[in-house]
Amino acid sequence: MAGTIGGPEAQFRAFLKQGRFMLQRSRSTGQHLYYPRLAVPGSGETDLDWVAAQGTGTVYATTVNRTRDGNTNLAIIELDEGPRMMSRVVGVPAETVRIGQRVRARIAVEDAAEIILFEPLAADGEAAGAQP
């Protein structure tokens, strides 16, 4: 919502602190947005509401960051609502994450801030190999 104290990013982070993964959606077009914004890219519409994300998506792109401390996965996840976001797929070795793999979001705390991470989904739709 435009005009909210702290702006859309602060509101998104406040939702995460509450344990809620929320996305913005345009009332006129139904388009979902990520990253939080004041207006819809391309049209400039400001008719944005906050809605709960389904929390599921598909790995669109992936790479492995190899360091002395271990390997981590970096991925672009295409959310089922449409937008893409950069995150990590956790709970499995970084090298096993594949394009097209179905994942489910979870909120985690790292460096004293809430973030969205993803876990692989098993064939039955439940998170597989999840870390606590």
The C-alpha angle 122, 21, 92, rounded to 5 degrees, equals 30
What does the pLDDT look like over 84-125, one tens digit per residue?
999 999 999 999 999 999 999 999 999 999 999 999 998 656
> What's the mean pLDDT when you consider all of the chain?
91
Average pLDDT score over residue span 38-53: 94
**Domains in the chain, please, with CATH?**
7-52 (no CATH), 56-120 (2.40.50)
Cβ neighbourhood burial of 97 (10 Å; 0-12, 13-18, 19+): buried
Cβ neighbourhood burial of 36 (10 Å; 0-12, 13-18, 19+): buried
Residue position matching structure tokens 């009332």 = 27
Q: What pLDDT band is residue 6 in, cutting at 50, 70 and 90? A: confident
Query: In the prediction, which pLDDT does 122 show?
Result: 83
The model's pTM: 0.86
Q: What pLDDT band is residue 129 in, cutting at 50, 70 and 90? A: low
